[in-house]
Amino acid sequence: MAEQKQDTASALKDIISHAKEYGFVFPSSEIYDGLQAVYDYGQNGVELKNNLKTLWWKAMTMLNDNVVGIDASIFMHPLTWKASGHVDSFNDPMIDNKDSKKRYRADQLLEGRAEEYEKAGTPEKGKALLEAMAKAMTDDDMSGLRQLILDEEIKCPISGTGNWTEVRQFNLMFSTQVGAVSEDASLIYLRPETAQGIFVNFLNVQKSGRMKVPFGIAQIGKAFRNEIVARNFIFRMREFEQMEMQFFCRPGTEMQWYNAWKETRLKFHKAIGLPAEKLRYHDHEKLAHYANAAVDIEYEFPFGFKEMEGIHSRTDFDLKSHQGLSKKKQQYFDADLDENGKPYGNYIPYVVETSVGADRLFLAVLCNAYTNEVVGEGEAAKERTYLKFHPSVAPIKAAVLPLVKKDGLAEKAQDIYHSLKRSFNVTYDDGGAIGKRYTRQDLAGTPFCIAVDYQTMEDNTVTIRHRDSMEQERVAIADLREKIGFAVSMERVFEQL
Ligand code: ATP
């Protein structure tokens, strides 16, 4: 078991250092030793992330007739967060070890112990512990959680002691003040989710777009949470990006839409190259106060199956709360006829939400792409590392490489590079041996390398080297745009949806 743990820890470590070395993800403000749980995307990372966001955006808004997008502000009226329940209950239970002064999430310590029971072949003990934990978390007083930690004799990994403080509730929202003069300034929050920006604009979009229920509103944007224990690289960050869609439907039809979106979203992840065996549904047994059904799509990260996307049937909770607090009606008039031939009339729509973290999807795609294998046999065997991104998400689609710089080859390669760069993200590299240049592109996940050689000067053909198989084929320059363009296109992904 220990060896397995070592392997998964080192697999993630390798991915983190690869991400840094090849310009995907850097620790934030690194020259000042970084800022915990905050990261920056580098030159390749931002391309990969933008590709994922564009695929999601287009899959939502272009492929569904009844889904449109918005871009709401990060700052919102503070009552928004009162209505949504975040002011009163967006809390995590935290506990400190008095000796190491380290802070932990009490529920995560217990979940860790439950996982240990499962690995040790006693899953029933783990299940019982999780049930006891769920019960203790519904008490206002968090002493039950602390007692479970004491009963389980859970120790702090740093100090090795069980010298724990009381458990306290900790609100995850970041707050700041608006207004120049401190007496007039009022408290506002950095949004902890993008969903509320959609709810408060429900009627604006419905009326201005003449939208008929059922319809959806999609949004991509930053969200902020003061996570107590931030870990696993970009899996849990304090500043992150969400891609959310709220689908407004007639009450009573929500389960049909919930099931449909559940399937659609899983299909999306498979279409961008995540393997079926690394994806699974995880139904929520304990539902949030606003939900009548909820499921996570989990991906098998190097640290285990974890939530990547949540699909929730949120009933009319949010619109109803906003109606209550704002005193503005959040109703829709449905002119369609029911089975008795009467219009359905006024109601507050029910909502099915799909919510995926752009950064978690990025991490899943990066982990899946990271490949370290031995090629060749015997004496000639050597290790090869590359990123096998689906071509539609790869940061750079193709690299143009002249075999040598002299005899007009560099100029010919430059011409090809300039003619392709209007169609897709392409790079040019003429420095060093061609083998080394192939390797550099493999490490960044570029699916195609276009080599310009002496034959090119005679017959206007080049070789395309394929990243995964390393096979080469001879292609006419005139066919490059179509051949590579189709392979890297988003259309190929959409055909599977
Ligand atoms: P978790 O249980 O992992 O904290 P959650 O259930 O609180 O996640 P939601 O509130 O449902 O998450 O948010 C929807 C999605 O936003 C998640 O599925 C995840 O992809 C992403 N997300 C949430 N919190 C973070 C975070 N701190 N860092 C990165 N992504 C996040």
Q: What is the CATH number of the domain that holds 412?
A: 3.40.50.800
**Placement of tokens 């909502």 in the chain:** 351
360 assigned to a ligand binding site: yes
Statement: residue 417 has pLDDT above 90: yes
φ and ψ at residue 71, rounded to 5 degrees: -140, 95
Q: What is the pLDDT of residue 7?
A: 62
> Cβ(195)–Cβ(73) under 8 Å?
no
Question: What share of the chain has pLDDT > 70, as a percent?
Answer: 97
225 assigned to a ligand binding site: yes
C-alpha distance from residue 426 to each of 136, 184, 215, 315, 421 (Å): 55, 53, 38, 46, 6
* Greater pLDDT, 289 or 237: 237
Cβ contacts of 10 within 8 Å, gap of 6 or more: none
296 CA: nearest ligand 1 atom = 18
Note whether 223 and 351 are same-domain residues: yes
Statement: residue 112 has pLDDT above 50: yes
Q: What is the pLDDT of residue 182?
A: 67
Mean pLDDT of 343-347: 96
Give the CA dihedral 418, 424, 425, 428, nearest 10 degrees: -30
Give me the chain's average pLDDT, please. Answer: 93
Can you name the residues that pair with 305 across neighbouring β-strands?
300
Domain of residue 105, residue span:
91-170
The DSSP letter of residue 272 is T
Domain containing residue 108: CATH number: 3.30.40.230
Statement: residue 183 has pLDDT above 70: no
Distance between Cα 108 and ligand 1 center (Å): 15
Q: What is the pLDDT of residue 221?
A: 98
Q: What is the pLDDT of residue 94?
A: 92
Note whether 235 and 95 are same-domain residues: no
Does ligand 1 lie within 6 Å of residue 311's CB atom? no
Nearest residue (CA) to ligand 1, atom 6: 310
pLDDT digits (tens, 9 = 90+) for 35-87: 999 999 999 999 999 999 999 999 999 999 899 999 999 999 999 999 999 99
What's the rounded Cα separation, in Å, for the pair 76 and 59? 28
Note whether 131 and 213 are same-domain residues: no
**229: confidence class by pLDDT, cuts 50, 70, 90:** confident
310 is written with which tokens? 């949540």
Q: What is the pLDDT of residue 152?
A: 95
Nearest residue (CA) to ligand 1, atom 25: 236
Distance between Cα 308 and ligand 1 center (Å): 7
Question: How many structural domains is the chain composed of?
Answer: 3
307 CA: nearest ligand 1 atom = 18
Note whether 152 and 234 are same-domain residues: no
Statement: residue 424 has pLDDT above 60: yes
Distance between Cα 357 and ligand 1 center (Å): 6
403 is written with which tokens? 């075999």
Note whether 200 and 162 are same-domain residues: no
Q: Decide if 197 is inside a domain.
A: yes
Note whether 362 and 429 are same-domain residues: no
Note whether 101 and 161 are same-domain residues: yes
Mean pLDDT of 411-436: 96
Note whether 65 and 206 are same-domain residues: yes
Q: Decide if 105 is inside a domain.
A: yes
Name the residue among 1, 6, 8 with its Cα closest to residue 121. 1
Nearest residue (CA) to ligand 1, atom 21: 357
Note whether 113 and 239 are same-domain residues: no
Statement: residue 124 has pLDDT above 70: yes
What's the rounded Cα separation, in Å, for the pair 149 and 96? 12
How crowded is the C-beta side of 377, counted as CA atoms within 13 Å?
0
Nearest residue (CA) to ligand 1, atom 18: 309
Distance between Cα 235 and ligand 1 center (Å): 9
What's the rounded Cα separation, in Å, for the pair 200 and 80? 8
Q: What is the pLDDT of residue 463?
A: 97
Mean pLDDT of 346-362: 98
Does ligand 1 lie within 6 Å of residue 72's CB atom? no
Statement: residue 181 has pLDDT above 80: no
Statement: residue 1 has pLDDT above 70: no
Q: Decide if 443 is inside a domain.
A: yes
Residue 56 CA from chain centroid, whole number? 11
3-class secondary structure per residue, 348-387: CCEEEEEEEEHHHHHHHHHHHHEEEEEECCHHHCEEEEEE
Name the residue among 188, 227, 257 with its Cα closest to residue 359. 227
Distance between Cα 320 and ligand 1 center (Å): 24
pTM: 0.91
What's the rounded Cα separation, in Å, for the pair 401 and 450? 6
Distance between Cα 373 and ligand 1 center (Å): 32
**3: confidence class by pLDDT, cuts 50, 70, 90:** very low
Nearest residue (CA) to ligand 1, atom 22: 357
φ and ψ at residue 6, rounded to 5 degrees: -55, -45
Does ligand 1 lie within 6 Å of residue 214's CB atom? no
For helices 409-420 and 477-487, the axis angle rounded to 10 degrees is 40
Note whether 361 and 409 are same-domain residues: no
> Cβ(219)–Cβ(70) under 8 Å?
yes
Question: What share of the chain has pLDDT > 90, as a percent?
Answer: 85
244 assigned to a ligand binding site: yes
Strand, helix or coil for residue 343: strand
Domain containing residue 208: CATH number: 3.30.930.10
Statement: residue 397 has pLDDT above 80: yes
pLDDT digits (tens, 9 = 90+) for 289-341: 788 999 999 999 999 999 999 999 999 999 999 999 999 999 999 999 999 99
